[in-house]
Amino acid sequence: MSFAIHGQAVSRGVTVGRAVVVGASHMDVRHYLVGEQDVEGELARLRRARDGVITEIERVKAHVATLPAVDAPAELQALLDVQLMLLQDQTMSEGVRNWIVERRYNAEWALTSQLDVVSRQFDEMEDPYLRERKADVSQLVERLLAALKGEAHGLEQASSKALEQEGVPLVLVAHDLSPADLLQFKQSVFTGFVTDVGGKTSHTAIVARSLDIPAVVGARSASHIIKQDDWIVIDGDSGVVVVDPSGILLDEYAFKQREGVLERERLGRLRNTPSVTLDGQPVELMANIELPADAEPALAAGAVGVGLFRSEFLFMGRSSQGKSALPDEQEQYEAYKAAVEGMLGMPVTIRTIDVGADKPLDSPARYSHDKLNPALGLRAIRWSLSEPSMFITQLKAILRAAAHGRVNVLFPMVAHLSEIRQIHIMIDRARALLDNEGVLYGPVRIGAMVEVPAAAVMAPLFLEHFDFLSIGTNDLIQYTLAIDRVDESVSHLYDATHPAVLRLLAQTIEAGRVCGKEVAVCGEMAGDVALTPLLLGLGLRHFLMHPSQILAVKQQVLRSDTRRLVPWAQQVLASNEPQTLIANP
Ligand code: PEP
Ligand code: MG
């Protein structure tokens, strides 16, 4: 029977597919599809892993048998026996086999999928003793996963393509996904995702938008309600997930999907059209990117530069890729240079590392941000200034990349004059080090993000020290309204059009106009077409957003007349209920 789950719409479009429910602890398991010719090999990998685990358990059992009773409690023997028994269990082994043979999942994925199925069966058991056996199965799966790690994978995502072409769309359902998990989507087989937690401007949502795949976050208990292999529809426009859709619903969504494709084709025609309002005001539309490879979609969308390169994504999710904890200067330099060269001479603004809050680095502990109020803690520029050698390494890498094209450096979450002074000292130090080393570097423009209300209020002072400002509305809203942007339980209060937010925005843009320096908006507001007229009316001329939103915003720009929008925007600003006016520009 069909039913719907409601969450937050974060990334446009509709997709229909079979659910792959992934437990939080198994996000780092590799997910790929194997080709028909590789199925036998995958089953053999699994058999070898199982035989290895059996041998290991038998060895431990033999050792335990030689110990005095006090060191070898009967429970330990029993536990090992249960594990051996589970390894022969039909439900488990047949289930895993089916995932590989029928769905062509790789062995690790098949194991965790079957674990999910079996865990649900255990959850439904009345007998508490039997219910607790779930932990034994989990332990066993962990052992098998560890054994598989030692096995050569051999089968890469390339083989996934084969099955994708056979038309088996898969959508991911998880309790939570970190932004780093999501980046792996770029090479994965999933066509959309749903999470239980998360807000509209969480970084997970932002990355989903950049991937341009339908997504719904904050769908509460979706990962419990949806079962492995259920057919589901993800409607990323309205934030609805339909489980087990009826034929009529599927027809309706198929129609919607076709409409979406047509709309994109229509917008595609604007790619080379200059972004100018009806009254001749040029408006700069640039791309926000996470990785150097994103330069390509940015160019395809007609971006005139990269307005925000979120460099922290080079620092995240490294352990699962088998990389060192942090990228060194050379690795960073190569990544920044690749983005600069990828943009073919257009400017690239590289934001220094903005970790913390919902963008944690991998362990070790000193990089942990697992504090009570991470959004108010040691994040962004605060973190960089507390790790001077890391910060200098990044600045040197950016300065070196600037020898290859037009580069701006942007500093996140600046609030204090003391931070501004330290930033300048650090840049001078990075230049001096490069001079000493005789390494080539180029000139950069230096900017600050306006993300805390203090910075917006002090915009004129900031503009004395920086070449440009970029308003990070995602954080500015969070800090102005004291609403955690990743907490779905308060997301209804996260309001981009709150009068206080609009006034801070307006005064920052005005401060830029007065001193003739550039002020951009790089938060999600810049890519929201419903807000384009208002931002134009407030005098904004630099909009930075994900490539997937550029053409829709350009369409709005082309239809706008700022002579009419300026007085209207002043009315909106003066209103205590701006939302009512924004609906009718
Ligand atoms: C912002 O805060 O608006 C911004 C662009 O930065 P991020 O979303 O990466 O925090
Ligand atoms: Mg921010």
Question: How does DSSP classify residue 196?
Answer: S
Residue in 200, 202, 210, 449 to alter for ligand 1 test, most ligand atoms within 8 A of Cβ: 449
Active site residues: 203, 522
Residue in 353, 451, 524, 546 to alter for ligand 1 test, most ligand atoms within 8 A of Cβ: 451
SS3 assignment for 278-324: CCCCECEEEEEECCHHHHHHHHHCCCCCEEEEEHHHHCCCCHHHCCC
Q: What is the pLDDT of residue 81?
A: 82
pLDDT band at 513 (very low <50, low <70, confident <90, very high): very high
Distance 523 CA to ligand 1 centre (A): 5
Cα separation, 198 vs 453, whole angstroms: 23
Distance 522 CA to ligand 2 centre (A): 9
Q: What number of other Cβ atoms are within 10 A of residue 305's Cβ? A: 19
Question: In this predicted model, what pLDDT tens digit does every residue of 299-312 receive, in sequence order?
Answer: 999 999 999 999 99
Ligand located closest to 313 CA: 1
Longest CA pairwise span in the chain (Å): 90
Residue 117, pLDDT > 90, answer no
pLDDT band at 469 (very low <50, low <70, confident <90, very high): very high
Strands 284-289 and 444-450: unpaired
Question: In this predicted model, what pLDDT tens digit does every residue of 402-417 receive, in sequence order?
Answer: 999 999 999 999 999 9
Distance 561 CA to ligand 1 centre (A): 28
Q: What number of other Cβ atoms are within 10 A of residue 559's Cβ? A: 11
Question: In this predicted model, what pLDDT tens digit does every residue of 267-313 receive, in sequence order?
Answer: 999 999 999 999 999 999 999 999 999 999 999 999 999 999 999 99
Nearest to 211 by CA among 15, 34, 4, 20: 15
- Which ligand 1 atom sits closest to the C-alpha of 478? 2
Q: Return left, alpha or beta for 218; rule: phi > 0 is left, psi -120 to 50 is alpha, else beta.
A: left
Kindly report the protein residue whose alpha carbon is nearest to atom 3 of ligand 1.
Answer: 472
pLDDT band at 546 (very low <50, low <70, confident <90, very high): very high
Question: In this predicted model, what pLDDT tens digit does every residue of 410-442 receive, in sequence order?
Answer: 999 999 999 999 999 999 999 999 999 999 999
pLDDT band at 157 (very low <50, low <70, confident <90, very high): very low
* Predicted TM-score (pTM) above 0.95: no
Helical pair 547-559 and 203-211, crossing angle rounded to 10 deg: 80
**3-class SS at 340?**
helix
Nearest to 318 by CA among 365, 380, 361: 361
The mean of the pLDDT values for the chain is 88
Cα separation, 535 vs 372, whole angstroms: 35
Distance 490 CA to ligand 2 centre (A): 18
Question: In this predicted model, what pLDDT tens digit does every residue of 22-63 receive, in sequence order?
Answer: 765 666 677 788 888 999 999 999 999 998 888 888 887 787
Nearest to 551 by CA among 179, 212, 186: 212
Q: Which of 96-105, 152-161, 187-196 has the lowest mean pLDDT?
A: 152-161
Structure tokens at 73: 């409690």
- Which ligand 1 atom sits closest to the C-alpha of 203? 8
Kindly report the protein residue whose alpha carbon is nearest to atom 1 of ligand 1.
Answer: 472
Cα separation, 275 vs 555, whole angstroms: 8
Q: What is the pLDDT of residue 153?
A: 38
Ligand located closest to 472 CA: 1
Do residues 330 and 401 make contact, with C-beta atoms less than 8 angstroms apart? no
Ligand located closest to 501 CA: 1
Distance 442 CA to ligand 2 centre (A): 26
Residue 85, pLDDT > 90, answer no
pLDDT band at 77 (very low <50, low <70, confident <90, very high): confident
**3-class SS at 154?**
coil
What is the amino acid identity at position 140? L
